[in-house]
Amino acid sequence: MARVLKHYPEVVLDPNTLVGRLDFGVIFGRTAPVHFEIGSGKGTFLVNEARAATEDDFFGVEWCSKVYRYAIDRIGRWAVKNVRIIRTDAAWLIKEHIADSSISCLHIYFPDPWPKKKHNKRRFVNDANLVEMLRVLKPGGVIRCATDHSDYFEQMERVLTNPQLERIDFFPTSYAEPDKGEWAGTNFERKYLAEGRRIYTLAVRKR
């Protein structure tokens, strides 16, 4: 029997109630580095990384309602206090509601590659979104990306080659198991590694 997914309102933000820029100090009840995951899926990364890095706060955004409900259930069942999640469009949220220099790390793991040429413009990592990502990142803040799609990776490299950014090593997250090939620790990552797919990774730091 499939598990009944529970709703935990304390971990959720309603996009319809947002006014102005988010105050993460108010949202989390403390001042701490904020990690922002774009496309949180079922919440695997958010839960595991937040449990390992309790001194940091983790904020996720997901559009797909089905996996979003799984993420809420997972975050709530584990009673992870330093995670919040919202269901909305990531580009809109960042542009309209994320404050300047408020994010310590942007995590973009296995975003939709929109493989058809005519759909490439829908990819999240693009020039327009980079302007907003640079705005919300703190000095020294990091953007970390992973994908199994070689063409999208080439686009990521092009977009993230910017005078305001320096490329750095992509290192395993604190809870990952490097000897097992763990990088981002997402459901997609584990699935793709098991299938023998190549995973392309890239990390840059704001100067």
User: Which residues carry out catalysis?
Assistant: 112
Q: Residues 149, 152, 157, 160: is their CA dihedral positive or negative?
A: negative
For residue 144, give the amino acid letter: R
Q: Residue 57: what are its φ and ψ, rounded to 5°? A: -115, 150
- Pull the structure tokens for residue 104: 């310590």
Percentage helix, strand, coil for the chain under 3-state DSSP, each rounded to 5: 40, 25, 40
Total count of residues recorded for the chain:
207
Are 132 and 70 within 8 A, CB to CB? no
User: Which runs of E-coded beta strand occur in the chain?
Assistant: 12-13, 34-38, 57-62, 83-87, 103-109, 137-147, 165-168, 200-206
